[in-house]
Amino acid sequence: MGNTNKKEMEYGRNLVECDENPVRHGELYIDPGFFENWDKELELLNKGKVGRKFQFPTQFIRFLMLMHIRFHLSYRHLEGFLEELSQLVPEVRVTDYTNIYKRGTKLQILISSAMEEGEEPIIIAINSSGAKIANRREWMGEAWEDMDWIRVHLSVNMETNEIVSLERVTDETVEDDVAFNDIIEDAEENVGEGEIKKRDEAILVVFTLADGLYGVDVSQVREITSMQETAPVPNSPYYVDGVINLMGQVTTVTDLRRRFGLDERERDDNTRIIIVEPEGVPIGMVVDSVSEVLRMPADDIEPVPDLVVADADYVKGVGKLGDGRLLILLDLEKVLAAS
């Protein structure tokens, strides 16, 4: 894997150059064998368990919590990280942030303060024997270093706690220091004066209503829950379904079918409530189903003429999907203004 002293010099040089930027760098090492044993571990974990079964092994949750501690990523950012990672490593399964929180906060995870707050790039690894965090010097002295790993480099803006670069190393001929230099350059291009530069794309939560596809900006979505009973509110607008208790907070729920004048239909197992916070106040939206989180290039989004949609004020634009379908992008502030 190259000369140790050379690597340490390269890493040290880059960290000095990046010292003025709030970026922390690291590497993820994932053993492909971990995914092969996934179901076996779950079988043991769920043996004798009453109620809903676990879908993620404990060591995978520990792996995410190490990310949480080391890079100060919120649980919502961890969910987004998994979405990103699953695109680089298809074997990775995605869970929501509430599951990470519920499982992760029950684990006892202790790491040294130097490992938690230090500026040196660190390695977080996972295989069938567990999740591990180490600095490069410790890692290169371990037998784990010689295994056949899936390797991912990442950089995190510590001021915004967002990942600015995530990249899988696929060329086995590339030295660690060269690959790491490339990702540092990528991260620095995404950071300017403490803020991440906006990418020319939208990240959307896509849902269905009747035969239509709709999207809202993922940054405005707090969580997605299954349909639950709502308490009716007297004299509320016709499209307000009622209120629910959302983790101790009374939250209004709006039926988007009614809001858009669509025929009502019986709710089923696919019905979801999307909790959004367009202006910092949580509001629920009842939709037929939620299909995916989608990245859409800005070039594929166009404004919509007023004559095309009756309630054009509710629409921010129309996205063009690769299969020819159209995606209506909603302006949540206007859709929920009276809720």
* Structural domains in the chain (count): 2
Q: Give 144's pLDDT tier (boundaries 50, 70, 90).
A: low
Question: What is the CATH number for 229?
Answer: 2.40.50.180
Q: Are residues 157 and 242 in the same domain?
A: no
Whether the pLDDT of residue 197 is over 70: the answer is no
Of 155, 170, 196, the residue at which a domain comes to its end is 196
**pLDDT value for 287:** 94
Q: Give 329's pLDDT tier (boundaries 50, 70, 90).
A: very high
Whether the pLDDT of residue 28 is over 60: the answer is yes
Q: Are residues 129 and 266 in the same domain?
A: no
Q: Are residues 205 and 221 in the same domain?
A: yes
Q: Are residues 219 and 185 in the same domain?
A: no
pLDDT tens digits, one per residue of 108-140: 776 666 566 666 778 888 887 788 888 766 776
Q: Are residues 266 and 249 in the same domain?
A: yes
**pLDDT value for 271:** 92
Of 196, 219, 246, the residue at which a domain comes to its end is 196
Q: Are residues 189 and 249 in the same domain?
A: no
Confidence (pTM): 0.49
Q: Are residues 9 and 74 in the same domain?
A: yes
Q: Are residues 94 and 205 in the same domain?
A: no
Q: Are residues 35 and 143 in the same domain?
A: yes
Choice among 81-85, 245-249, 266-270 with the minimum mean pLDDT: 245-249
Q: Are residues 188 and 225 in the same domain?
A: no
Q: Are residues 124 and 143 in the same domain?
A: yes
Average confidence score pLDDT of the chain: 77
Q: Are residues 161 and 230 in the same domain?
A: no
- Given a contact cutoff of 8 angstroms between Cβ atoms, the answer to whether 339 and 286 are in contact is no
pLDDT tens digits, one per residue of 91-110: 888 988 888 888 888 887 76
Of 169, 196, 223, the residue at which a domain comes to its end is 196
Q: Which of 90, 95, 93 is nearest to 150 (CA)?
A: 90
Structural domain including 129 reads 4-196
